Amino acid sequence: MTPDDRRYSVEHEWAKVEGDEVVVGITDFAQSQLGDVVYVELPKVGDRVEQMKVMGVIESVKAASDLFSPVSGEVVAVNDAVIDAPQKINESPYEEGWLIRVRPERLDELNNLLSAAEYERHISGQGTTG
């Protein structure tokens, strides 16, 4: 089930507000489509990310894919655990497998993302509303 405490991009990233930061990761659907994740390249603390722009790369045994930031702002933390052990993304995409924390420039950017229900429709091929 897709957690409803966060917002989702059509590229399968999620964004969860925690205090004045936004935690970013990839969805369970994305990690299952990728297969075993073997490498992840993420921005560094202090880097600026832009909504819907490439922020890194994730590689699996099947493919390499760009990672897109669901929000614009400054990277304030990087999950070193997923760099050292990328399989955490497969094992726990919504908790231990988070990627970065961002201090967002504008929280209203999250309105550009999908709700959990909209994302569920998106991945089931039924399109989105809104």
* Rounded distance between C-alpha atoms, residue 90 and residue 11, angstroms: 17
H helices within 11-75, ranges in order? 28-34
Give the percent of the chain with pLDDT over 90.
95
Evaluate if residue 59 carries a pLDDT over 60.
Answer: yes
> Which of helix, strand or coil describes residue 117?
helix
The mean of the pLDDT values for the chain is 95
Give the domain range for residue 65: 22-121
Q: Does 5 reside within a domain?
A: no
Residue 94 contacts by C-beta under 8 Å, 6 or more apart in sequence? 3, 6, 14, 25, 27, 28
Q: How many domains does the chain have?
A: 1
Ranges 2-6, 35-39, 78-82, 126-130: which has the least confidence: 126-130
Q: Average pLDDT of 8-25?
A: 98
Q: Does 16 reside within a domain?
A: no
Q: Average pLDDT of 23-40?
A: 97
Q: Is the pTM of this model over 0.85?
A: yes
Q: Does 52 reside within a domain?
A: yes
